Structure 1
């Protein structure tokens, strides 16, 4: 009832979501600013329609400093042919386009974190308006949602594809089938510690099959991680019945994130020295890093200990940390 009372979205699509074939265009959001009184935020979008089948909504740069997804999606938008598709593709390579253009995690316009802004508002900030459009226009069209992530400038990950444990076990199983098909080196049963306002949550609450990734980090993409993204994207679309072809099966190892003890946070700030690398096995209580105070010399470093045993699946990326920063994430390897 609340959504029916909201004003229409101010965003206008320059593509027809029902038109057959391949259409390239923009989501145009009016945005008055100092250098353009009648300016706009222009988010590129591609829609591919061919035949009867499911709709896949594909997004990257939900955070603007994560690049594997945009690489894979701009590549798909430039190369896909309508006759390869059975159903519909909606491709948004840079979901938070202002952040993507600036190379920042959050929007330079309003500092909005798009992935904490759902369900959004049609009369809110630029970021809230973008979230509202996805919430009320794009997500309802979709059957399958793939949202690419990586570590950005502040984290580095083992390259993995993931889905969440859900109350609806059919919905959960469908998501993990697509995780398996994606074929990243690692596959994760993912735990969120800050799920309020997430795109993931919005999609899952609508009953969509939602899959995500973390494919590296450091604010860049390597040839390896971009290759994982491109191959995994096509595998997932084939497995979902939207793209013709065969799944290029890849070996994957599975990690579980059973509880909040997977996350290790810094209680001190300073220069971090890691004592374990990505993929290393660690034991509960083992020091995984040391933080050196940097305000003066002669001070002893403070050890940061793993709160559980398992494999180091993520770490803080910049060499300087602040109190409260996530330093390490530990996953538990499990059988599929």
Structure 2
């Protein structure tokens, strides 16, 4: 183990992870700043434990502008009945709490992207310290990890639950069983374009069952996507045997992201016009969008074409796009 990981985390929990009962508290991270010399970042956490059984670690707000997860988890923390629980549920509705408060993807303190900061450092930036605490304290407690995501302010997704293709096929199979149980309208075999430093990777490398979501976007949540999140987290807890009851099954369409050809990136910036809506079928070569240069009139727009046949699964959200931005994602129905 590296010298840095022999150091204790500066984060202290006001809850006891081993005590039975319902506890609402905080992960307190000292943060000295201009307006509070001995200040702290106070990350809300709930622990519900009732005897022996599996542990579910439920997280949202890994990126601070994604809201279905926080909505579902703040609600669950308020309503989960101790008598219904067998095992332990650890709920952190807003992992990157500074980003969540600022309504931004990354932390306003250090610009840290929590989902690219693992394994973190106990002596690093605020974001690195949060990642380190999850890496060394919370993830080792978990059997199943559900981390909610959506598109934030810059992407919009078909609502799906997802897991990754893994070298350990038994671990992979368990993850996809939980994806099926979640019961989103779409279920994804997901490809990451940048897996280095991700919470997902940290959990999977520990052998944990890890599932995630993309439930919408545009920097807000709808009644439909919030309901999908609430129903899905309850289904995950039922499938884990932590709470009782029948899984509320909904029809799902399975999708696969087989290669990097799923992604289309903008090579020019400007005003974007989508010619295909989310969920519509496309062919290889279909024009997904036009990007109009906005510096002058009369200029031919740049066309963004699909590299494969499938369904439009994600799209850039704001009306203006920059070179290098992800413009669209196409996935293949299984």
Q: Give the TM-score of the pair, scaled to structure 2.
A: 0.99
The question of whether the paired residues in 2 share the 8 Å contact of 1:188 and 1:257 is answered with: yes
Match of 1:153 in 2: 153
Matched, 1:92 2:129: no
Q: CA deviation at 1:305?
A: 0.6
Tell me if 1:81 matches 2:77.
no
Q: Distance in 2 between matches of 1:17 and 1:111?
A: 30
Does 2:178 match 1:178? Answer: yes
- Distance in 2, matches of 1:298 and 1:256, equals 39
Checking the alignment, whether the CA contact within 8 Å between 2:5 and 2:122 is kept in structure 1 is: no
Matched, 1:33 2:65: no
Deviation at 1:6, TM superposition (A): 2.9
Shift, 1:234, TM fit: 0.1
Alpha-carbon distance in structure 1 between the residues aligned to 2:323 and 2:67: 27
**Unpaired runs of 5+ in structure 2?**
none
1:188 aligns with 2:188: yes
> The residue matched to 1:100 in structure 2 has which SS?
helix
Give the match's secondary structure for 2:276.
coil
Q: Distance between the aligned counterparts of 1:306 and 1:251, measured in 2?
A: 27
Matches of 1:46 and 1:245, distance apart in 2: 22
- d(CA) in 1 for partners of 2:319, 2:256: 27
Alignment of 1:1-336 (within 5 A): 1-2=1-2, 5-334=5-334
CA–CA distance in 2 between the matches of 1:325 and 1:77? 36
**Would the alpha carbon gap of residues 5 and 189 (structure 1) be closer, same or farther in structure 2, given more than 3 Å must change?**
closer
Provide Cα deviations, 1:186-229, integer angstroms capped at 9, x if missing partner.
00000000000000000000000000000000000000000000
Q: Deviations over 1:39-89 (max 9, x none)?
A: 000000000110211000000000000000000000000001111111000
Shift of 1:2: 2.0
User: In structure 2, how many angstroms separate the alpha carbons of the residues matched to 1:100 and 1:50?
Assistant: 30
Where does structure 1 differ by over 6 angstroms across 4 or more consecutive aligned residues?
none
- Number of matched residues? 334
- SS of 1:115's partner is helix
Deviation at 1:259, TM superposition (A): 0.3
Q: Is the 8 A contact 1:66 1:220 kept in 2?
A: yes
Q: CA RMSD in A?
A: 0.8
Measured in 2, the distance between the counterparts of 1:313 and 1:326 equals: 12
C-alpha contact 1:6 1:122 (8 A) present in aligned 2: no
SS at match of 2:218: coil
Using the size of structure 1 for normalisation, the TM-score is 0.98
Structure 1: gaps (5+ residues): none
1:3 CA drift (Å) = 6.6
